[in-house]
Amino acid sequence: MERITIIGLGLIGGSLGLALKEAKLTDIEIVGYDKDTLAAGEARRLRAVDKSERSLQKAVRGARLVIIATPIMATRGVMEEIAGELRENCVVTDTASTKAIVMEWASQLLPATVSFVGGHPMAGKETSGVQNAEAKLFAGKPYCVIPAPEASEGAMRVVTGIVQLVGARPFFIDADEHDRYVAAVSHLPLVLSSALFTLARGSPAWPELSSLAGSGFLGATRLASTDAELSHDICLTNREGVLHWLDRMVEELGRYRELLQEGQEEELFKTFARAHLDRDAYVTAGPPVREPVAAEELPTSGEQLAALLVGQRLVRRVKDIGKLLEEKQERGRRRGAEGRD
Amino acid sequence: MERITIIGLGLIGGSLGLALKEAKLTDIEIVGYDKDTLAAGEARRLRAVDKSERSLQKAVRGARLVIIATPIMATRGVMEEIAGELRENCVVTDTASTKAIVMEWASQLLPATVSFVGGHPMAGKETSGVQNAEAKLFAGKPYCVIPAPEASEGAMRVVTGIVQLVGARPFFIDADEHDRYVAAVSHLPLVLSSALFTLARGSPAWPELSSLAGSGFLGATRLASTDAELSHDICLTNREGVLHWLDRMVEELGRYRELLQEGQEEELFKTFARAHLDRDAYVTAGPPVREPVAAEELPTSGEQLAALLVGQRLVRRVKDIGKLLEEKQERGRRRGAEGRD
């Protein structure tokens, strides 16, 4: 019997637990920990974990894989507390929305005898807490995987296996790229959404504004209902990325403003039309690049993952991760040639 | 047999037709006109109209009620073309997203023998065209009603009756207020959404950005898929309103930027938390003011509307619209005391 420990039993930790339980891994026990014992109790009741521990140290003791799914800012403290308890060759991963700072904490705080592979599932919803967890939360979603330089190839395979087991698509990327990119497509929309709601809500005309607001306003402000601790932690841990894209957004709004102010009708129409056509193409066809990793190149079944975790046998030779790193470098070169953001 | 004519058989015109047909009005024929004869044919096929005419003049001839549901900028030309054909006491309404300019066109172009009552259903979706029309599009949605100063009380009742018949909630407001308010909750989100998509799409990192983008980005950019003619017309006909709120939005983003830049953690957290709580309260409880008009104060059933349209009998005395105007003035006074936007 090998142990997987999930620290932080909120929406993400709880959903990972449910998804892993649904995979019916054999010889694996899922242990949960949350400093909020009510959340831990609820996770047990929902069978997102097999059992929970009241002590963080006890929860990770002997674990083959530890998943840290706490709020971003709590990750550092968790690493400090568990560092002395982790068994040799333990694989540690996380689910935080920013990665450079977490990779740094891992390199400072975790012992050299364990492997850290950062993770970030691009999944979520506007409600939080384990009571809103779902096994299908990650289905078909990209899941960023960022190995520490010293992480073993086996650790990389374990985390990639978990990603596929919960139904997500592994996306290999380095921490700085990750932070810059999610700042654009995740953190900037969050700030825009919150700012738009704050602006309308703060108006003396709010009674009328809110009476008139329809699904457009609701949709555009949906991310304002993100858990405030998450929004706050994202902004603090990815400050440069968010500031960069916030400035570019203000520039872009300035461009729209100019077209409007100067009555450049044709260019205004073209701008809206281009956005419309391009977005429809994106929604219909999906992203323009192929999947970075074909599914058959990595372990997929629960049996294989269990094999990796318990170390009994390696069901088949999995593809060397060298190929993945080559791809990443290739992406980097291509972008270098195109010019940077 | 009395005639209702719908000019412009797109998403809104088509949905109004379907909703009116569903009300099974007796002794009413719904005639459609669209300069695109394919759209007119599709509207007939979908039974959004009883018949369509190839001539605009012929379509409105003898009509008791004319609904102009064309793109905003086309409204003026339609008014010019139909002005000479409208029967005495004809009620004319429209569905345009901006109202001050349309009210002005109506006052310049329509004969004094007809009554104009502006309308704006706060309903829509990201797809356009009559093929996407639905009878339920307006169900439960606010529908702005703005009578021209010279409009008869009967005309006001006819349009209010239509609004209720299609399942919407009449919202009485004046044209300038309307344009300022929808600029905040409808037109600003549209520009934000389009600008956010344009920004991300224009980045050299778009292949990676689009691979990482999840439901948050899709939701935040949904309005970028609005019909480009609509977006363009809105920006041109409500330029002052859009510029005003665009500037305020940039200010608000500047406030977030400052909190972030200066690392004001507590205030940043409070800002996100306030937006989250306020939005949840709004979503749960709805707008903070009562409905401006109680349903029982206005005609509701198809039979009553038909009575108004065909002028055979007045089923019951409907509430004087004076009460509505008093309410609006009261709102104005209250806002005056609180300070203006």
Q: Tell me what the mean pLDDT of segment B217-234 comes to.
A: 93
Q: For residue B309, what pLDDT is reported? A: 58
Buried-state track A230-254, b at ≥16 Cβ within 10 A, e below 16 = bbbbbbbbbbebbbbbbebbbebbe
Residues of A in contact with B71 (CB under 8 A): none
Q: For residue A31, what pLDDT is reported? A: 98
Q: For residue B316, what pLDDT is reported? A: 28
Beta-bridge partners for B94: B68
Q: pLDDT tens for residues B46-61? A: 999 999 999 999 999 9
Are the CB atoms for B253 and A175 separated by under 8 Å?
no
Q: For residue A35, what pLDDT is reported? A: 96
- Of the pLDDT bands very low, low, confident and very high (cuts 50, 70, 90), residue A126 is confident
Q: Which amino acid is at A113?
A: T
Q: For residue A311, what pLDDT is reported? A: 43
% chain A with pLDDT above 90: 77
Question: DSSP string of A108-153?
Answer: HHS-TTSEEEEEEE----S--SGGG--TTTTTT-EEEEEE-TT--H
Of A185, A232, A268, the CB nearest to B213: A185
- CA-based nearest residue to A70, from A34, A37, A105: A34
Q: For residue B118, what pLDDT is reported? A: 98
d(CA B197, CA B225): 10
- CA-based nearest residue to B91, from B113, B58, B74: B113
More confident site: B160 or A290: B160
Mind telling me how many Å the CA of B148 is from chain A's nearest CA?
Answer: 20
Residues of chain B numbered 168-187 and touching chain A (CB < 8 Å): 171, 173, 177, 180-182, 184-186
pLDDT at A327 over 50: yes
d(CA B309, CA B20): 13
Q: For residue A322, what pLDDT is reported? A: 38
Residues of chain A numbered 294-333 and touching chain B (CB < 8 Å): 331
Q: For residue A58, what pLDDT is reported? A: 97
* Mean confidence (pLDDT) of chain B: 87
Q: For residue B25, what pLDDT is reported? A: 85
CATH class of the domain comprising A2-173+291-338 = alpha beta
Mind telling me how many Å the CA of B63 is from chain A's nearest CA?
Answer: 30
CATH class of the domain comprising A178-262 = mainly alpha
% chain A with pLDDT above 70: 84
- Of the pLDDT bands very low, low, confident and very high (cuts 50, 70, 90), residue B26 is confident
Q: Tell me what the mean pLDDT of segment B208-231 comes to.
A: 93
Q: Which amino acid is at B34?
A: D
d(CA A242, CA A245): 5
pLDDT at B294 over 90: no
The DSSP code for B47 is T
pLDDT at B286 over 90: no
pLDDT at A302 over 70: no
d(CA B100, CA B121): 15
d(CA A219, CA A9): 28
B323 vs A306, B141, B175, B292, B318, CA distance in Å? 72, 22, 18, 10, 11
Q: For residue B336, what pLDDT is reported? A: 54
What percent helix, strand, coil does chain A show, rounded to 5? 55, 10, 30
More confident site: A11 or B317: A11
Question: DSSP string of B132-188?
Answer: G--TTTTTT-EEEEEE-TT--HHHHHHHHHHHHHTT-EEEE--HHHHHHHHIIIIIH
Which residue reads 């600008």 in tokens?
Answer: B195
% chain B with pLDDT above 90: 77
Query: Which structure tokens are listed for B136?
Result: 């339920």
d(CA A236, CA A139): 29
**Record: contact B122-A213, CB cut-off 8 A:** yes
**Record: contact A217-B265, CB cut-off 8 A:** no
Q: For residue B306, what pLDDT is reported? A: 53
**Record: contact A214-B276, CB cut-off 8 A:** no
pLDDT at B313 over 80: no
Residues of B in contact with A293 (CB under 8 A): none
For chain B, domain boundaries: 2-173+291-338, 178-262
Interhelix angle A228-237/B265-285, nearest 10 degrees? 150
Q: For residue A250, what pLDDT is reported? A: 98
CB atoms within 10 A of CB B132: 14
Q: For residue B44, what pLDDT is reported? A: 98
Q: pLDDT tens for residues A194-220? A: 999 999 999 999 999 999 998 899 999
ipTM attached to this prediction? 0.83
Of A181, A252, A260, the CB nearest to B239: A260
Of B204, B218, B268, the CB nearest to A335: B204
Q: For residue A125, what pLDDT is reported? A: 79
d(CA B160, CA B145): 7
Q: What's the distance, Cα to Cα, between the start and end of chain B in Å?
A: 48
| 3-class DSSP assignment, residue A280 | helix
pLDDT at A294 over 50: no
Q: How many Å separate Cα B270 from the centre of its chain?
A: 35
pLDDT at A296 over 50: no
Are the CB atoms for A316 and A162 separated by under 8 Å?
no
- Phi, psi for residue B259 in degrees, rounded to 5: -60, -40
Alpha helices by DSSP H, B225-313:
228-237, 239-261, 265-285, 302-310
d(CA B4, CA A336): 62
Interhelix angle A153-165/A302-310, nearest 10 degrees? 150
d(CA A138, CA A19): 8
Q: Compare all CA atoms of chain B with the CA of A288 and give the residue at the minimum distance.
A: B207
Are the CB atoms for B137 and B123 separated by under 8 Å?
yes
Q: For residue A336, what pLDDT is reported? A: 54
Q: For residue B299, what pLDDT is reported? A: 45
